[in-house]
Amino acid sequence: MGVLTQLVQNLRQRISRPLRYYYDICARCGACIDACHFYSYSRDPAHIPAYRVMLAKRLTEGGNGSNGLARWYRDLGMIDGRTVEELEKAMWECTGCRRCAVFCPFDLDTALMISAGRYTLLQEGVGPEMIAEIGNAEVSKGEIIDMIKDFYLEQVKSLEARLQEEFASDLQIPVEKEGARVLYVPLVGEHAIVPAAKIFYAAGEDWTMSLFTATNHSFFVGDMAKAKQAARWIVEEAKRLGVKVIAYPECGHASRLLLSFFDGWFGEEIADIERVNILQLVAGYLQEGKIRVRPGTFDVPLTYHDPCNLGRNGGMFEEPRLLIQSVATDFRELTPNRELNWCCGGGGGLVAAPEMKEVRMKAGRKKVEQIQRTGAKWVVTACENCKAQLRDLNEHYELGVEIKGVIDLVADALIL
């Protein structure tokens, strides 16, 4: 039982007061069962949120590795491999979408337990290690930023020259501009820079672009120490440049960290810096008249997928709808939507793990059914992981739709 004993010890180190509370109060009432998109297709007990809680609780009960879940499995004649296999399924075949929490009469946060469980399993080499490796790279980027800065700036200048030719001759993509009002932290790739740069130009925004990226894969694996360090590079950059606002792109998990975790991590260090998602920033531009768009630019039937971390976990429901409806004529809501919206099945870092694709495609069936019922030709969303998952679902289920970003629509409808 050596491996399992060490696993128990690692998990106990991650048990916080809220987790103990969740373990103790869960009544196994079953209200969460049909809320899980994984359980909806598998009917596997390991996908029931309350069962996940039970696994972790039994794992940590008792004085040593021979008690609790270890003893429970041994008494049933099961072996360590079976134990770890079920734990891996329970912890990793979950997107942390928190739809189960909406239906829980006690508001238990299963995703918090999943975070602790994932971190523990990865210490034993159980789970998609690629996600953790990407997180490590995000942490180490701050240590080598001076070595890669010149290459980055060269790429930005190339992109800037192209936009000057195609969009506006005086458009600029500033980097490391001291005293700018807004620090925009992009994703990897020009798709997260081009529409934002166009909108900032149209709004006359005083902005600068970060040397870092918003994604934080350490958060997906529950390594909060590394997640905080990756975020610290951005905070330090913002303070050094003297910006007033940190704006994150269309990325659900990154925006949740920015809006919900930075206060606890950095406190007074960032008390004078506003933090927003780009949807909030652009919706403000539109309402304040800083940008103008062509109403009815898009007449194709389209729908909006609420990303779990922006919507259910972040309360950002109206901004994307305001922006979409300002440029589209045939907007069709998914049913259900907002807090009750079905997760697309790609969150929790799973799109970064190639071995999880088959599971993701099955977990996305509820989302596929929603899309099909609308008859929409475009599916619009505001999260990078959601876009990747929706593209995979589109191909796998032959939906015949196009996947768009909210900010893409606004940028394409701008009136200069």
Q: Are 402 and 378 in contact (CB under 8 A)?
A: yes
Greater pLDDT, 191 or 114: 191
Annotated domain spans of the chain: 2-127, 130-288, 292-415
Give the model confidence (pLDDT) of 257-310 as tens digits: 999 999 999 999 999 999 999 999 999 999 999 999 999 999 999 999 999 999
| Residues 351, 114: Cα–Cα separation, whole Å | 17
Return the structure tokens found at 157: 């200048």
pLDDT reported for residue 81: 59
> 30-34, 113-117, 199-203, 224-228 — which one is most confidently predicted on average?
199-203
Cβ contacts of residue 335 below 8 Å, gap of 6+?
Answer: 370, 373
Q: Has residue 3 got a pLDDT over 80?
A: no
For residue 90, which of 36, 51, 120, 37 has the smallest C-alpha distance?
A: 51
Q: How many CA atoms lie within 13 A of 404 on its CB side?
A: 25
pLDDT reported for residue 74: 45
Give the model confidence (pLDDT) of 117-161 as tens digits: 788 778 777 788 889 899 999 999 988 998 999 999 999 999 999
Give the model confidence (pLDDT) of 20-36 as tens digits: 666 677 767 878 888 99
pLDDT band at 77 (very low <50, low <70, confident <90, very high): very low
pLDDT reported for residue 270: 92
Mean pLDDT of the chain: 88
**Average pLDDT of the segment spanning 310-330:** 96
Q: Give me the helix-helix angle, 80-92 and 68-75, nearest 10°.
A: 120
Selected from 1.10.10, 3.40.1350, 3.30.1050, 3.40.50, the CATH number assigned to the domain covering 292-415 reads 3.40.50
The type of residue at 303 is T
pLDDT reported for residue 82: 66
pLDDT reported for residue 70: 44
Selected from 1.10.1060.10, 3.40.640.10, 3.30.70.20, 1.20.1250.20, the CATH number assigned to the domain covering 2-127 reads 1.10.1060.10
DSSP 237-270: HHHHHT-SEEEE-S-HHHHHIIIIIHHHHHGGGG
Give the model confidence (pLDDT) of 229-247 as tens digits: 999 999 999 999 999 999 9
- Please give the model's pTM, rounded to 2 decimal places: 0.89
